[in-house]
């Protein structure tokens, strides 16, 4: 039996299943740097450490030892299925018959990094910037397609001392496709610890990024709040309709609303001039999503739209009005069809590309 085992990003993050597989193994094979992290677990076992770049040799050794009736653990950092040893193992398995294999998953670097940044992952792509085995043209194509799909993007192996071009090309694409303010999380192994930073695409500290850095680039809805990076899923927050909102939508549904700037309103402009006042009361309130500028007033349970001007932009109003009539036919629909409304909100934030 060959067990390709993911030992996670650190000794403390190993799974119980990984620990059990190592405990039951006769032979441990892996990169010597990884085996060093589990030295206390492999005492008394046959250990075959190998250097970087000897991945194929490790697999061949694992097959040989397994055929001798031994329980073999093939060590992989992080998760073996994400740029790990599982891919190497299965690529060579076609050469052999009757070799029993299992994959023991581990905590991947992207999951570990995300846990330190907050909750940045939602519909995401993971891309390695190493062009040792992958053409640069393929890497660039994948990054551009991920941007076009508005995916959160996590980058492995971003930049070494001699391999800088893939990273510079990636940044160039990101700058063309995403807003300069897009949140970017950086998690870097440093002196036995971890350095965590949240910045933006326009302020990315390029020279401080190396091979030990995981980069997570947000999508159009990602935001930073209280030092955490978050990409919202769009959960519905129950909330009663305000009497003034009810009065507003009764007029709106009756065709008596005001479109465009409401110059006759005593509060105009409440945000900026010229602002579109078609939706003086937002049909998505409370969205509970700070990505457009709103926020919870802490300890009050009140959602404030003071910082959100998105609902007053002409393009936004045009997008909402195209589908709102099919969702809201009466006042009760503002509550009963809130999930449909929030999906419309996400659609209008992302625009026609998605």
Give the separation between CA 187 and CA 109, rounded to whole angstroms.
9
Distance of CA 337 to the CA centre of its chain: 28
Place of tokens 């002409």: 314
Specify whether 196 is located in the same domain as 86.
no
pLDDT at 50: 86
Specify whether 290 is located in the same domain as 302.
yes
* Parent domain of 249: 243-350
Kindly report the CATH number assigned to the domain that includes residue 152. 3.30.950.10
Give the separation between CA 119 and CA 198, rounded to whole angstroms.
12
Task: Please say which residue of 64, 80, 106 terminates a domain.
Answer: 106
Specify whether 208 is located in the same domain as 272.
no
Q: Which residues of the chain have pLDDT under 70?
A: 352-354
Q: Please check whether residue 79 is in contact with residue 73, taking contact to mean a CB–CB distance below 8 angstroms.
A: no
pTM of the model: 0.90
Specify whether 99 is located in the same domain as 117.
no
pLDDT at 64: 94
Specify whether 115 is located in the same domain as 100.
no
| Chain segment 89-100, per-residue pLDDT in tens | 999 988 988 899
pLDDT at 173: 98
In a domain, 235, yes or no: no
In a domain, 237, yes or no: no
Specify whether 220 is located in the same domain as 305.
no
In a domain, 42, yes or no: yes
pLDDT at 10: 85
Tell which phi-psi region holds residue 134, choosing left (phi > 0), alpha (psi between -120 and 50) or beta.
Answer: beta
* Buried/exposed code over 132-164 (b: 16+ C-beta within 10 A; e: otherwise): eeeeeeebbebbeebbeebbbbbbbbbbeeeee
Partnered with residue 188 across adjacent β-strands are 195, 213
Task: Please say which residue of 106, 130, 150 terminates a domain.
Answer: 106
Place of tokens 């192996």: 157
Specify whether 70 is located in the same domain as 143.
no
pLDDT at 12: 87
Specify whether 226 is located in the same domain as 281.
no
pLDDT at 146: 97
Specify whether 40 is located in the same domain as 114.
no
Tell me the three-class secondary structure of the chain, residue by residue.
CEEEEECECCHHHCCHHHHHHHHHCCEEEEEHHHHHHCHHHCCCCEEEEECCCCHHHHHHHHHHHHHCCCCEEEEECECCCCCCHHHHHHHHHHHCCCCCEEEECCCCHHHHHHHHHEECCCCEEEEECCCCCCCHHHHHHHHHHHHHCCCEEEEECCCCCCCCHHHHHHHHHHHHHCCCCCEEEEEEEECCEEEEEEEEHHHCCHHHCCCCEEEEECCCCCEEECCEEECCCCCCCCCCCCHHHHHHHHHHHCCCCCCCCCCCCCCCCCCCCCCCCCCCCCCCCCCCCHHHCCEEECCCCEEECCCCCHHHCHHHHHHHHHHHHHHCCCCCHHHHCHHHHHHHHHHHHHCCCC
* Total structural domains within the chain: 3
| Chain segment 143-198, per-residue pLDDT in tens | 999 999 999 999 999 998 889 999 999 999 999 999 999 999 999 987 778 899 99
Specify whether 132 is located in the same domain as 225.
yes
Task: Please say which residue of 198, 230, 262 terminates a domain.
Answer: 230
Specify whether 87 is located in the same domain as 135.
no
Give the separation between CA 229 and CA 58, rounded to whole angstroms.
38
Q: Which long-range contacts (CB under 8 A, 24 or more apart) does 88-97 make?
A: 88/55, 88/56, 88/58, 88/59, 89/2, 89/4, 89/59, 89/62, 92/56, 92/59, 92/60, 92/63, 96/63
Other residues' Cβ atoms within 10 Å of the Cβ of residue 259: 12
Kindly report the CATH number assigned to the domain that includes residue 33. 3.40.1010.10
pLDDT at 323: 95
pLDDT at 354: 56
Specify whether 80 is located in the same domain as 148.
no
Nearest to 3 by CA among 32, 38, 30: 30
């Amino acid at each position: 039996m060959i067990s390709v085992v993911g030992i996670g990003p650190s000794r403390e993050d190993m799974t119980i299943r990984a620990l059990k597989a190592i405990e039951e193994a006769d032979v441990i094979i892996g990169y010597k740097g990884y085996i060093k992290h589990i030295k206390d677990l492999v005492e008394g076992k046959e250990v075959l450490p190998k250097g970087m770049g000897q991945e194929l040799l490790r697999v061949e050794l694992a097959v040989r030892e397994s055929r001798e009736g031994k329980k073999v653990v093939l060590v992989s950092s992080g998760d073996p299925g994400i740029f790990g040893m599982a891919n190497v193992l299965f690529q060579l398995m076609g050469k052999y018959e009757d070799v029993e294999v299992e994959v023991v998953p581990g905590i991947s670097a992207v999951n570990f990094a995300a846990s330190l940044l907050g909750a940045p992952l939602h519909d995401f792509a993971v891309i390695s910037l190493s062009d040792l085995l992958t053409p640069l043209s393929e890497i660039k194509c994948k990054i551009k397609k991920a941007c076009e799909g508005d995916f959160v993007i996590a980058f492995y192996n971003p930049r070494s001392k001699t391999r800088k071009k893939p990273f510079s090309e990636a940044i160039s694409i990101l700058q063309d496709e995403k807003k300069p303010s897009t949140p970017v999380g950086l998690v870097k192994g440093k002196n036995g610890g971890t350095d965590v930073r949240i910045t933006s695409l326009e302020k990315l500290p390029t020279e401080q990024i190396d091979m030990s850095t995981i980069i997570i680039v947000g999508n159009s809805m990602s935001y930073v709040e209280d030092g955490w990076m978050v990409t919202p899923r769009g959960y519905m927050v129950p909330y009663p309709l305000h009497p003034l909102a009810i009065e507003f939508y009764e007029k709106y549904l009756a065709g008596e609303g005001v479109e465009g700037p409401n110059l006759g309103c005593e509060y105009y402009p409440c945000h900026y001039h010229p602002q579109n006042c078609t939706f003086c009361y937002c049909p998505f309130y409370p969205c509970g999503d700070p990505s457009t500028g709103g926020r919870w007033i802490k300890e009050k349970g009140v959602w404030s739209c003071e910082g959100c001007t998105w609902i007053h932009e002409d393009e936004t109003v045009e997008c909402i009005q195209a589908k709102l009539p099919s969702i809201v036919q009466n006042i009760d629909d503002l509550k009963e069809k809130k999930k449909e409304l929030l999906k419309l909100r996400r659609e209008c934030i992302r625009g026609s590309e998605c």
